[in-house]
């Protein structure tokens, strides 16, 4: 018999400022659940999580928590007031009987000492300390709102491993696809005020969501057609009659009411970079470049060439010197030794991580126009600032809004809008994905795919790197930087390990006596890898499996192409959508495995 839910939220609704934010939301968390909560920026995900944590009272709905259940909530902006050290803050979250040593272990694992002054923490440091406090008690339910924000790659990968090992039920909000896919086993989608749940992790969600929206669009098209038919009857079909068919007229009014009340998905961001004359073939070349600050080496004898159209990702732990490296490659600062050669006709645009271009007192319009009028020039064409802002999901009334009241996602979208309006053939993006929702990330990726210039990208988002860049420059420590072909996953395959914390060989997980952890495999011997019997058999059988999966996908898509399926048989539609998502995931994995084995066989 299944254990009863630890937490149940039923039919929750909440209105802000007269506008319904959440209209009908349900959330059920059972022991051991791994659930991701997804939705567009502004859809109410964080608010729904606060309702589940008991921090926000809904207008209606019922929240039930099993007696004795402990819940911990990670807020996006923790309150450190009243604490003199970070260790004090973390220990204050422990309950009687909790192991006191976990507070210090977690802080040290996240690169903190416990002696830091909470009032002087950076955004990334504050996020690490708040994570330590949430994880320390080992609660029954753990609610994490954007836990990877402002974390570097070593911290993200450490956190991912730590969460895989805990017993608590998890609810996650994150824009990091790789993180969600690794940890979730079910998905709750908050869309237009309502929740829908599927018993699949995030890896299967997007295909299911797309199929759902396509079916919804087909149904709306049918409703439009029906309204048009009824209006035609109303205007021309009753002219020969002395009395109107009151019932049919009432049906038309009901259809119109349904059409008005149907809430379409929130609009999409429209992104397009401004074009400019192409740069020279060579964009930047580093010849034996070194840079140090005191005893700390940032770059040591780096030799690198970036050509026109290259997509170079730059990754490393916080403090590795990524921003300094960018400044060197763009000529903003000079190296201590060596030479930086910049190409001809360069028009760089730089989006910096510090968001220095945003002054709190400026309005949204001032950021885009520089305080000069209400127009912005994009691709040589003058556009009214309100029309351009709509492309980035800003409402017209936000044009005069001060920057200080914008959310993190809105600030990031505003800076991206400003950067893309400027003509460029070299785009430098330092952590552009922070606070963006998944759909906006998709559109940013599409824009970068179409961008004809050269891209330098600093990011901790592993999935985004895989989708966008053609090579990755990785900090190896002590100022050494090495370039690897391909995306982040390709770098892992070639390097044999991920990005390490600065000054350490990586973080070790706390031993868990109740769960033995497998030992790391011994490194493969040097030389040409050889295929064992099992690998040879797998290589031989994979083509047939790939062909079978492709045929299944074609069949499933044929089923979902039926425009009446959702209305006629919702259960079959849900099952076909879920099976399609699973088949596409398995096909991608099979193709990747086949390619990996082919490379090993060919040496």
Distance of CA 305 to the CA centre of its chain: 30
320 labelled as ligand-binding?
yes
Tell me the three state secondary structure of residue 245.
coil
Contact 468, 455 (CB under 8 A): yes
2 labelled as ligand-binding?
no
Distance of CA 7 to the CA centre of its chain: 26
Q: How many helices (H) and strands (E) does the chain have?
A: 18, 20
292 labelled as ligand-binding?
no
226 labelled as ligand-binding?
no
521 labelled as ligand-binding?
no
Distance of CA 366 to the CA centre of its chain: 28
Contact 280, 344 (CB under 8 A): yes
Instruction: Identify the residue whose tokens are 């430098």.
Output: 428
HSE-CB at 125 with a 13 A cutoff on CA atoms is 17
State the sign of the Cα–Cα–Cα–Cα dihedral 441, 447, 452, 453: negative
- Enter the tokens of residue 95: 């309950």
318 labelled as ligand-binding?
yes
245 labelled as ligand-binding?
no
Burial of 202 (0-12, 13-18, 19+ CB in 10 A): buried
The angle formed by the CA atoms of residues 557, 563 and 565, to the nearest 5 degrees, is 80
* Residue 178 host element (H or E): helix 177-183
* Residue 535 host element (H or E): helix 533-560
Contact 317, 153 (CB under 8 A): yes
45 labelled as ligand-binding?
yes
The angle formed by the CA atoms of residues 403, 405 and 407, to the nearest 5 degrees, is 90
Give exposure, 93-130, as e/b (b: 16+ Cβ within 10 Å).
bbeeebeeebbbbbbebbbbebebebeebeebbbbbbb
**568 Cβ partners below 8 Å, 6+ apart?**
none
* Residue 301 host element (H or E): strand 296-307
The angle formed by the CA atoms of residues 577, 579 and 585, to the nearest 5 degrees, is 105
Q: Which residues pair with 63 in a beta bridge?
A: 9
Contact 36, 45 (CB under 8 A): no
40 labelled as ligand-binding?
yes
Question: Which residues contribute to the annotated binding site for ATP?
Answer: 39-46, 316-323
Question: Which residues contribute to the annotated binding site?
Answer: 39-46, 316-323
């Amino acid at each position: 018999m299944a254990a009863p839910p630890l937490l149940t939220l039923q039919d929750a609704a909440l209105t802000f400022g007269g506008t319904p934010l959440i209209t009908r939301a349900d959330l059920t968390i059972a022991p051991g659940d791994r659930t991701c909560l997804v939705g567009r920026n502004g859809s109410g995900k964080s608010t729904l999580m606060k309702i589940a944590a008991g921090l926000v009272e809904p207008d209606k709905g019922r929240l039930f928590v099993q007696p004795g259940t402990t819940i911990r909530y990670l807020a996006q902006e923790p309150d450190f007031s009243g604490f003199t050290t970070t260790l004090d803050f973390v220990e204050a979250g422990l309950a009687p009987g909790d192991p006191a040593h976990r507070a210090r272990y977690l802080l040290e694992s996240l690169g903190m000492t416990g002696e830091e002054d909470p009032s002087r923490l950076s955004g990334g440091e504050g996020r690490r300390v708040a994570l330590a406090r949430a994880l320390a008690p080992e609660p029954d339910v753990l609610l994490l709102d954007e836990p990877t924000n402002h974390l570097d790659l070593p911290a993200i990968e450490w956190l991912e491993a730590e969460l895989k090992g805990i017993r608590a039920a998890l609810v996650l909000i994150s824009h990091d696809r790789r993180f969600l896919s690794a940890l979730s086993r079910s998905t709750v989608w908050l869309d237009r005020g309502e929740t829908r749940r599927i018993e699949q992790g995030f890896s299967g969600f997007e295909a299911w969501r797309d199929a759902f929206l396509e079916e919804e669009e087909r149904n709306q098209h049918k409703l439009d057609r029906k309204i048009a038919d009824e209006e035609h009857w109303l205007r021309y079909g009753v002219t020969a009659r002395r009395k109107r068919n009151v019932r049919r007229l009432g049906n038309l009014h009901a259809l119109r009411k349904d059409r008005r009340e149907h809430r379409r998905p929130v609009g999409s961001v429209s992104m397009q970079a401004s074009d400019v004359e192409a740069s020279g073939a060579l964009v930047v070349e580093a010849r034996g470049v070194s840079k140090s600050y005191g005893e700390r080496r940032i770059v040591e004898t780096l030799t690198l060439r970036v050509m026109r159209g290259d997509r170079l990702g730059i990754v490393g732990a916080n403090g590795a010197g990524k921003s300094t490296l960018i400044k060197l490659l763009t000529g903003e600062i000079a190296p201590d030794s060596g030479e930086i050669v910049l190409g001809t006709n360069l028009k760089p645009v730089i989006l910096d991580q510090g968001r220095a271009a945003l002054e709190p007192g400026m309005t949204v319009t001032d950021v885009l126009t520089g305080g000069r009028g209400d127009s912005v020039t994009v691709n040589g064409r003058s556009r009214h600032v309100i029309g351009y802002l709509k492309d980035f999901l800003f409402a017209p009334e936000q044009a005069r809004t001060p920057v200080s009241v914008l959310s993190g996602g809105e600030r990031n979208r505003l800076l991206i809008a400003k950067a893309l309006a400027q003509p460029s053939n070299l785009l430098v993006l330092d952590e552009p994905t922070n606070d963006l929702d998944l759909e906006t990330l998709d559109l940013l990726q599409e824009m970068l795919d179409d961008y004809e210039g050269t891209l330098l990208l600093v990011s901790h988002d592993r999935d985004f790197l895989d989708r966008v860049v053609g090579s990755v420059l990785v900090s190896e420590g002590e100022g050494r930087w090495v370039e690897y072909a391909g995306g982040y996953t390709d770098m892992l395959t070639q390097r044999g390990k991920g990005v390490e914390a600065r000054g350490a060989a990586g973080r070790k997980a706390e031993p868990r006596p109740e769960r033995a952890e497998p030992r790391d495999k011994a490194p493969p011997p040097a030389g040409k890898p050889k295929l064992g019997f099992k690998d040879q058999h797998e290589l031989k059988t994979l083509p047939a499996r790939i062909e079978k999966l492709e045929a299944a996908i074609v069949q499933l898509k044929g089923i979902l192409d039926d425009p009446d399926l959702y209305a006629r048989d919702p259960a079959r539609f849900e099952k076909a959508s879920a099976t399609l998502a699973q088949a596409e995931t398995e096909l991608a994995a099979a193709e990747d495995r086949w390619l990996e084995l082919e490379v090993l066989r060919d040496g």
